[in-house]
């Protein structure tokens, strides 16, 4: 991998000792270690994938590491985002990550970018690096990273996770396929659940993030067979690794022979998302948690329907009647359409679908609990645990 550094990057005595296990392997050696030192790698996100990625790249002696993040550490991150500790909850992820990385390797030149990656800043940012590693968590940013990598000619070391499953590949190399060759279009919002909705096994970003770090290092050293034109599928439950062939699509709008996409676009619009945050309300009648509390306390005749999964009910519940959203069509006869029903889930998304379904099924008095049991915990009863 060509880098733009002119000065010879000689290693001092401390660095030679630190990297000795690299230096004694001919595949790395002094020349390889100097390539690592000259390399500039940009990590998008310091979350589940970004944690192991940044830690291993810093340890390996990458000279310049860039981190882009705007988020703050919270308790639900700690199950997998191992660059952050309990004491970091509430701190900026960038500050927390910077402490760990500098502690890990004082020779690291760390550059932090406290911003949300956007069409306005991506190109300029990517130009200052040699390789981009994508550890983001949403479709708009996935397509943004891909397109900006193609347009700036930077390899996109990709990893993605869901529940027990992961994907990894290397996109946007000179002759290789890009993310759009694999998936020309994103799924419509709501059809593919996010990790926040669907969960993720804590070790999985570790597994996939370390694969990304491995690919970054191989690209820099120019050794081995990188995951170019190959999609690696990881199934942690079966502990099976499968590999699929990826081809460069000649009709790809961004990397094909006649590209139609020559500058960055509005990726929220492309992914069908209006505004930065998806509105939780979906046009169904809503009730606020305070009003539900007041009416329940007044012993009004309300039927509380919980459409979460049984394992979520075990974490916490409001004593509601449990019918998971997917079972609702075949169990709708268990409900009394003459009664007033309040439907809730965790955040209000699934229950909005349930309300829409019940309305179509002829239920007249159904309300969606806005913000779900999570809002109840925030605003009515903090003893109800959040998850």
Partner 1 sequence: MSKIHIPTPLRQYVGKQAAVEVSGATVAEAMSALLEQHPDLRKHLYTEEGKLRAFVNVYVNDEDIRYLQKEATELKDGDQISIVPSIAGGW
Active site residues: 195, 345
| Pick 27 or 243: Cβ nearer partner 1 | 243
* DSSP bridge pairs for 245: 230
Residue 279, SS3?
coil
Q: Which of 164, 270, 303, 313 binds partner 1 (CB under 8 A)?
A: 164
> Is residue 45 part of the contact set for partner 1 (CB under 8 A)?
yes
| Pick 243 or 300: Cβ nearer partner 1 | 243
CA atoms within 13 A on the CB side of 293: 13
The secondary structure element, H or E, covering residue 41 is strand 40-44
| Pick 152 or 167: Cβ nearer partner 1 | 167
The secondary structure element, H or E, covering residue 343 is strand 340-344
Q: Which of 15, 88, 130, 137 binds partner 1 (CB under 8 A)?
A: 137
Give the pairing type, strands 286-287 and 366-369. parallel
Tell the smallest beta-carbon distance from residue 40 to partner 1 (Å). 21
Q: Which of 33, 40, 50, 267 binds partner 1 (CB under 8 A)?
A: 50
> Is residue 237 part of the contact set for partner 1 (CB under 8 A)?
yes
301: left (phi over 0), alpha (psi -120 to 50) or beta: beta
CA atoms within 13 A on the CB side of 180: 25
CA angle 105–111–112, rounded 5-degree value:
110
Tokens of 269: 């619009």
Residue 20, SS3?
helix
Q: E strands along 209-278, which residues?
A: 230-235, 240-245
* Binding span for partner 1 by CB under 8 A among 6-14, 97-105, 164-172, 346-354: 164-172
* DSSP bridge pairs for 114: 69
Q: What number of chain residues touch partner 1 (CB under 8 A)?
A: 49
Task: Tell me the CA end-to-end span of the chain in Å, nearest whole number.
Answer: 44
> Is residue 138 part of the contact set for partner 1 (CB under 8 A)?
yes
Tell the smallest beta-carbon distance from residue 10 to partner 1 (Å). 36
Question: Is the distance from CB of 107 to CB of 34 less than 8 angstroms?
Answer: no
> Is residue 192 part of the contact set for partner 1 (CB under 8 A)?
yes
Restricting to residues 196-235, which ones interact with partner 1 according to CB under 8 A?
A: 198, 200, 205, 231, 233, 235
Tell the smallest beta-carbon distance from residue 232 to partner 1 (Å). 11
* Binding span for partner 1 by CB under 8 A among 131-139, 335-343, 354-362, 369-377: 131-139
> Is residue 162 part of the contact set for partner 1 (CB under 8 A)?
yes
> Is residue 194 part of the contact set for partner 1 (CB under 8 A)?
yes
| Pick 45 or 320: Cβ nearer partner 1 | 45
Torsion of CA 187, 188, 191, 194, to 10 degrees: 70
The secondary structure element, H or E, covering residue 52 is helix 50-60
Tell the smallest beta-carbon distance from residue 11 to partner 1 (Å). 33
Interaction site with partner 1 (CB under 8 A): 45, 47-50, 71, 77, 81, 134-139, 142, 159-165, 167, 182-187, 191-195, 198, 200, 205, 231, 233, 235, 237-238, 242-247, 326
């Amino acid at each position: 991998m060509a880098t733009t550094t002119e000065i010879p990057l000689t290693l001092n005595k401390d660095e030679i000792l630190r990297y000795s296990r690299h230096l004694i392997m001919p595949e790395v050696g002094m020349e390889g270690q100097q390539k690592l030192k000259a390399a500039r790698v940009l990590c998008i996100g310091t979350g589940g994938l970004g944690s192991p990625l940044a830690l291993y790249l810093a340890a390996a002696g990458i000279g310049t590491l860039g981190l882009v993040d705007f988020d703050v550490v919270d308790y639900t991150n700690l199950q997998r985002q191992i660059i952050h500790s309990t004491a970091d909850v509430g701190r900026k992820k960038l500050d927390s990550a910077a402490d760990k990385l500098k502690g890990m390797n004082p020779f690291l030149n760390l550059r932090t970018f406290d911003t949300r990656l956007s069409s306005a800043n991506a190109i300029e940012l990517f130009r200052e690096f040699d390789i981009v590693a994508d550890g983001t968590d949403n479709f708009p940013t996935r397509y943004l990273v891909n397109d900006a990598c193609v347009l700036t000619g930077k390899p996109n070391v990709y990893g993605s996770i869901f529940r027990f499953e992961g994907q990894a590949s290397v996109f946007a190399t000179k002759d290789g396929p890009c993310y759009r060759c694999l998936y020309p279009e994103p799924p419509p919002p709501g059809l593919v659940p996010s990790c926040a909705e669907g969960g993720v096994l804590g070790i999985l970003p570790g597994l996939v993030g370390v694969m990304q770090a491995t690919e970054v290092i191989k690209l820099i050293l120019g050794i081995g067979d990188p995951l170019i034109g190959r999609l690696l599928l990881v199934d942690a439950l079966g502990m099976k690794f499968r590999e699929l062939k990826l081809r460069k699509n000649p009709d790809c709008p961004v990397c094909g022979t006649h590209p139609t996409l020559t500058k960055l676009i509005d990726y929220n619009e492309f992914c069908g998302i209006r505004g930065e945050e998806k509105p939780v309300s979906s046009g169904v009648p809503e009730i606020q948690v305070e009003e539900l509390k007041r009416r329940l306390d007044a012993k009004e005749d309300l039927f509380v329907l919980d459409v979460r999964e049984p394992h979520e009910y075990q974490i916490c519940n409001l004593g509601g009647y449990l019918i998971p959203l997917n079972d609702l069509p075949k169990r709708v006869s268990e409900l009394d359409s003459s009664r007033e029903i309040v439907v809730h889930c965790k955040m209000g998304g699934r229950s909005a679908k349930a309300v829409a379904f019940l309305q179509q099924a002829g239920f007249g008095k159904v309300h969606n609990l806005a913000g779900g049991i999570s809002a109840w915990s925030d605003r009515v009863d903090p003893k109800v645990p959040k998850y």
